[in-house]
Amino acid sequence: MSDRFPNRKWVIFNTSETGSIDWSQVIEHSSSLRLTNDGNQTFVKYEGDQPSSVTALSSKSQEYTHSEILNVLTQSIWRDVITDPDGE
């Protein structure tokens, strides 16, 4: 099965670092971040190479593909279980 978004990647990181994200480099908005139940983690997505502001995060996870992040986000630690983090 091929990924729906082959050039898109997701990275999970600590919410304490959201101020370090250059929002013009990612496909997210600071006002609409999805959080873990404890509020300690969130994620951003981007196309192509990892943006410099994401690379600089000290708490960043591995890069996830679309199918991988769907599996991660179905875990009970994430608020509001969704079927697609792109809403597309």
Q: Over the stretch 21-61, which tens digit does the pLDDT of each residue have? A: 999 999 988 888 999 999 999 999 999 999 999 999 999 99
pTM: 0.86
8 A C-beta contact, residue 62 and residue 9: no
Mean pLDDT of the residues in the chain = 89
How buried is 24 (Cβ within 10 angstroms: 0-12 exposed, 13-18 middle, 19+ buried)? Answer: exposed
